[in-house]
Structure 1
Amino acid sequence: MTTFEDALRTVEEMDTPDGYKAELIRAKIVVSPWPEPRAFLPMKSLREQLEQRAPQGHTTSAFPVLFSFRAAERAYGPNLYVVDEAVFDSDSRHADAAALSLVAEFTSVSTRDVDWEEKLQVYGQVVPVYLVVDVQGGEIACFSDPSPQGYRAHKTVSFGTPLPVPAPFDCEIDTTVFKTA
């Protein structure tokens, strides 16, 4: 029987094709594409807006990093994230998800269900803020206030409508450019 540690090591050592990432989802290794090029401008806009409001010592990035959620036996490579910079002082090939202050996933046809269900449940126990940019649905959702049962608060707006993001960011995201996605 394969353990979580064995599966995590396999994901870390995979040589995925350019434009793809490997994650550990529901005890399975899943290879999926990075967001389509049309998500570039919305992702850039979101990153720039979050960089201005990131907590002290945290950085905003889309650099491919695998974050381990040991309690849930999952490992994800978010599309965009805000994380404590200290997490990069490690020799490990994956990072501890507890260092995340925000995760943003941009849905695609192949990842939409995982972003809205699987990741929502797992992130909802650890990550303070989770943004789902639903490219197919034309909306963005903000989930916050994690608990062992999942997020206790959320708000969804259509692209073009400002989205309030709570602490530790306390800002409003301009989603106008998201209409192009």
Structure 2
Amino acid sequence: MNTPDGFRAELIRGKIVVSPWSKLRYYRRMRALREQLQNHAPDGHVADVAPFLFRFPSAARAYGPDLFVADEAAFEADGRHADGAALSLVGEFTSVSTKDADWTDKLDVYGLLVPVYLVVDMQGSEITCFSDPSPHGYRSRTTVSFGEPLHVPEPFGCVIDSSGF
């Protein structure tokens, strides 16, 4: 799907949702988080903020996360959508227009499959780590204010320094 410059499209609840790319002021935080996660990513996984859609066929959805850590082999496939099963972590940076989907729809879908989901709440100045996915969603949740350290469990097993957020 071709979108206007500065916008991206995601499939949410069977509907195509077009939203703007992240604000420029988010970049420093995204880069800081990506760099910290790359140092602790599972072997063969890469951390990036590139615009790729990951499909979740069981939920009939496809999301383009703000930040992801995924098995690099997922990008060798043909097509335009990577397999959501390749993800080891997803990070979403909330905005007024995407906050509801980040905290509801995406949480429900990621919570079935993705080992770690980080919600960087730009309006609330907090970062939440969801982990331990199950058929009923994530079993674990930890929230810290910007500036506090955040423990990210396996497969990362690290502490994120959010002091620059």
Instruction: Give the TM-score of the pair, scaled to structure 1.
Output: 0.90
Structure 1 equivalent of residue 148 of structure 2: 161
Structure 2 equivalent of residue 67 of structure 1: 54
Q: Does 2:79 align with 1:92?
A: yes
Segments ≥4 residues shifted beyond 3 Å: none
Cα distance, 1:25 vs structure 2: 0.3
Cα distance, 1:48 vs structure 2: 0.5
Unaligned runs of 5+ in 2: none
Structure 2 equivalent of residue 110 of structure 1: 97
CA distance in 2, matches of 1:38, 1:136: 13
Cα distance, 1:169 vs structure 2: 0.3
> Which of 107, 127, 132 lines up with 2:114 in the alignment?
127
CA distance in 2, matches of 1:57, 1:76: 22
> Which of 14, 19, 25 lines up with 1:38 in the alignment?
25
Q: Does 2:8 align with 1:21?
A: yes
CA distance in 1, matches of 2:116, 2:69: 10
Structure 1 equivalent of residue 131 of structure 2: 144
Cα distance, 1:18 vs structure 2: 2.1
CA distance in 2, matches of 1:86, 1:28: 29
Return the structure number with greater strand share.
2
Instruction: Give the TM-score of the pair, scaled to structure 2.
Output: 0.99
SS in 1 for 2:28: helix
SS in 1 for 2:107: helix
CA distance in 1, matches of 2:134, 2:20: 30
Instruction: Name the count of aligned residue pairs.
Output: 165
When the two chains are superposed, the root-mean-square deviation of aligned CA atoms in Å is 0.6
The Cα offsets for residues 109-147 of structure 1, whole Å up to 9 and x where unpaired, read as: 000010011100100001000000000011000000000
SS in 2 for 1:143: strand
CA distance in 2, matches of 1:67, 1:40: 21
